[in-house]
Amino acid sequence: MTTQLKLSQEPFSKLPVTIAIISLSIGLFAISFAAIFIKLSENEISPNATIFNRLWIATIVFGLLNGINGIRQRYSCNQSAQKLPYTNHNWLLLIGFGAFFAASQLSWAWSLTQTNVGTSTLLHNLIPLFTSLGAWLLFGQHFDRKFVIGMVIAVGGVTAIGLQDLQMATDKIQGDLDAVLSALFAALYVLIVEQLRTEFTATTILFWGSAIATIVIFPWLLFSDDKLFPSSGEGWLFVISLALICQVLGQGLIAYSLNRLSSGFVALTFLFDPVLTSLEAWTIFSERLNLSCWGTFAVVLLGIYLAISSQSAVKAIEDSTLISEP
């Protein structure tokens, strides 16, 4: 399996750094529209149906990519592709990944119906922080003073956001909690992916994650009053864009850039995502953020930066940059 992974990554090992940075920039820009497309699609269908459509479309695309990649490897290597290690243990990990991925996406989609896009995206991007905490609790990893200081600053900023929303409306608090919960679920599936990456390629993991998450959500939709599919061309445009632009194109370009850029560097660049999303929401939805909100954003981003840039947190977030963002 190691040989297969090396062969599949070899063509990209000579990727120029400049092209890798451009790929990363485009990927981050594509992913920043996830909250926008989710909010737009929720004008026609529920958050549950929105995520369901995103997942089944992405599953088909990732399945096609896996098939093409398998055929290419078989004919280019002059040997049969090695069988992937679908052991019982790995199946449990894949199922856990898909279940937590579904829970994370559903929580985030619901939060976007209760609070503004910028705040929801910011709280959702606490994923690297929760990932590091999970590594400490589950694997006994120790963290230095820089990480602890960053965590305290980030948590303080999040608390300030909650207090601001409490003064505005109580329903925004529920949206904030849903966004934080989505980050927690995402951290759990990131920790699972860290185990799977030693056995499977990134595209294979994303395919099974999307497929299993689709299966998890589908029965829920059947027993609810939610409409499964959009009823207009505009609605379909939003959910297809969500799947293709944010999940396939965005994540694909980020995975492409990781062949030349360190995952630690890529993780830090995700701190720009809430800012990009807030600017897009301001442009599209006229969501205005006052000076105190921007100040609180800066505090949280500073805390996350300090936490995930500490040397002790690098191992914990090693693979989180690939799939931690929708």
How many CB atoms sit inside 10 A of residue 135's CB?
23
156 band by pLDDT with thresholds 50, 70 and 90: confident
Q: How many residues does the chain have?
A: 326
**Which pLDDT tens digit goes with each residue over 90-106?**
999 999 999 998 999 88
Mean pLDDT, residues 3-17 taken together: 46
If one compares 183 and 131, the residue with the highest pLDDT of the two is 183
243 has pLDDT over 90: yes
Instruction: Label residues 170-197 b or e (16+ Cβ within 10 Å = b).
Output: eebbbbbbbbbbbbbbbbbbbbbbbebe
How many CB atoms sit inside 10 A of residue 230's CB?
20
DSSP letter for 82, please.
P
Q: Cα separation of 316 and 147, whole Å?
A: 12
* Per-residue pLDDT at 242: 93
* Per-residue pLDDT at 2: 37
Q: Kindly tell me the burial class for residue 106, based on how many C-beta atoms sit within 10 Å of its own C-beta (0-12, 13-18, 19 or more).
A: buried
Percent of the chain's residues with pLDDT above 70: 76
* Per-residue pLDDT at 307: 67
Torsion of CA 55, 115, 29, 326, to 10 degrees: -20
* Per-residue pLDDT at 52: 92
- C-beta pairs of 161-168 under 8 Å, 24+ apart in sequence: 161/119, 161/122, 161/123, 161/293, 161/296, 161/300, 164/292, 164/293, 164/296, 165/115, 165/119
Mean pLDDT, residues 227-238 taken together: 91
If one compares 206 and 155, the residue with the highest pLDDT of the two is 206
* Per-residue pLDDT at 59: 95
Mean pLDDT, residues 37-44 taken together: 89
Q: What is the pTM of this model?
A: 0.74
Which of 100-114, 138-152, 262-276 shows the lowest mean pLDDT across its residues? 262-276
